[in-house]
Amino acid sequence: MNEAYVLLNVDYKQQKSIIDQAKKIPAVKSVKTVYGIYDILIVLESDNMQEIKNSIDVNLHSIDGINNLTSLISVT
């Protein structure tokens, strides 16, 4: 199983909408609000690494209100 973590900085006014949209992406396992440098943590999981890549490159990048996106791909 492939896993990725995506850390987002978002426009606070759009945070709820961003969370709701992210939860609809099939590869998304969980979406969490976090405090600190980032605002949202998204965990993606799939047997197909291309599905994770598309979820980040296409689905997440198309959501309005995301100011910064950092992806961490697990290799274990």
Boundaries of every domain in the chain: 2-73
Local structure of 5: helix, strand or coil:
strand
Q: What is the spatial distance between Cα 28 and Cα 43, in angstroms, rounded to a whole number?
A: 6
Tens-binned pLDDT, residue by residue, of the chain (76 aa): 999 999 999 999 999 999 999 999 999 999 999 999 999 999 999 999 999 999 999 999 999 999 999 999 998 7
Local structure of 41: helix, strand or coil:
strand
Name the pTM for this structure.
Answer: 0.94
Per CATH, which fold does 2-73 belong to? Answer: Alpha-Beta Plaits (3.30.70)
Burial-class residue 64 by CB neighbours within 10 Å (0-12, 13-18, 19+): exposed
